[in-house]
């Protein structure tokens, strides 16, 4: 399954390079343009990040998101600045399909576990961003990748699995926004180790071959952002490639 992705700042579609707000590129089409474009291919879900909310909780684009979600109900997986129960409830009431929990899961694990019980694992996606050390330790990073936690990806999955964890969006931060190819070995390892998790591979997809390799490595959901915005390939081509058993350049 291909999941198109867009990030927004002040209602504009943008992309950051490796999560750096100092390296932002703005696109001249609005969000609804991409929604309409992708829905023509019967996409089941889009991934959207409110970068204003992710950077500053008080700058969340709530009014804009409300309009967007009401118009496109049960279509968006959305994240950015989710700290409290009211944030989850508001987005679900607006019509979000899933809510993405990132830094909050590390800052307050007990609270997040209560969310899994209250709202159910079907509507929660855990975003785990990792920095891969030379010894292959997968350290989770939070707060816009500025804070290293000393906690491993494996530990986080073990913490939340008893509460029904199913959806995990995993990003190797060195790959995000680069179009240089995903960390294939990472996804191959974790998809094999945690077969109860439906991983979403995020970061680095720049070619159709990347999609095929991810699928061969056990990843069933692939987030594609910049490559589609930059017209490296079309959504139709990506979906056709995903359905193929082999890739021919």
Ordered by where they begin, the domains of the chain are 2-243 (3.20.20.70)
87 is known as an active-site residue: no
Structure tokens at 160: 């939340």
**Residue in 7, 50, 172, 210 annotated catalytic:** 7
What pLDDT sits at residue 247?
46
Radius of gyration over alpha carbons of the chain, in Å? 17
What pLDDT sits at residue 208?
96
**pTM > 0.75:** yes
Cβ-defined contacts of 8-15 (< 8 Å, 24+):
8/48, 8/49, 8/50, 8/51, 8/52, 8/61, 8/64, 9/51, 9/52, 10/52, 10/61, 11/61, 11/64, 13/229, 14/51, 15/177, 15/225, 15/226, 15/229
What pLDDT sits at residue 146?
73
What pLDDT sits at residue 18?
76
Interatomic CA distance for residues 81 and 84, integer angstroms: 9
Q: What is the mean pLDDT of each run of 10 residues along the chain (249 residues)?
A: 96 88 92 93 93 93 96 95 95 98 92 97 96 91 80 96 98 84 95 97 94 94 95 94 65
Angle 112-118-122 (CA atoms, 0-180°, nearest 5)? Answer: 85
**Residue in 129, 172, 176, 210 annotated catalytic:** 129
What pLDDT sits at residue 177?
75
What pLDDT sits at residue 222?
97
Distance of CA 29 to the CA centre of its chain: 21
Interatomic CA distance for residues 34 and 76, integer angstroms: 12
Structure tokens at 64: 């804009």
What pLDDT sits at residue 46?
97
176 is known as an active-site residue: no
Distance of CA 134 to the CA centre of its chain: 25
Non-local (6+) Cβ contacts of 64 within 8 A are: 8, 11
């Amino acid at each position: 399954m291909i999941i198109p992705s867009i990030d927004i700042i002040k209602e504009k579609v943008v992309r950051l390079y490796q999560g750096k707000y100092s390296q932002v590129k703005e696109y001249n089409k609005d969000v609804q343009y991409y929604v309409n474009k992708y829905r023509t291919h019967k996409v089941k879900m889009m991934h959207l990040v409110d970068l204003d909310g992710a950077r500053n909780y008080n700058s969340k684009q709530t009014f804009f998101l409300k309009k967007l979600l009401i118009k496109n109900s049960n279509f968006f997986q959305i994240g950015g600045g989710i700290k409290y129960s009211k944030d989850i409830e508001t987005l679900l009431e607006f019509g979000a399909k899933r809510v993405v929990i990132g830094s909050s899961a590390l800052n307050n694990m007990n609270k997040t576990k209560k969310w899994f019980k209250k709202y159910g694992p079907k509507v929660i996606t855990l975003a785990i961003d990792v920095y891969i050390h030379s010894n292959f330790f997968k350290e989770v990073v939070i707060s816009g990748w500025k804070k290293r936690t000393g906690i491993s990806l494996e530990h986080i999955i073990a913490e939340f699995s008893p509460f029904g964890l199913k959806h995990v969006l995993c990003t190797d931060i060195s790959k995000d926004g680069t179009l240089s190819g995903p960390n294939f070995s990472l996804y191959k390892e974790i998809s094999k180790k945690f077969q109860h998790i439906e991983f979403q591979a995020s970061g680095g997809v720049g070619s159709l071959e990347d999609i095929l390799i991810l699928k061969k490595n056990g990843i069933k959901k692939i987030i594609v952002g910049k490559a589609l915005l930059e017209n490296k390939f079309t959504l139709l081509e990506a979906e056709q490639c995903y359905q193929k058993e082999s890739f021919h350049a």
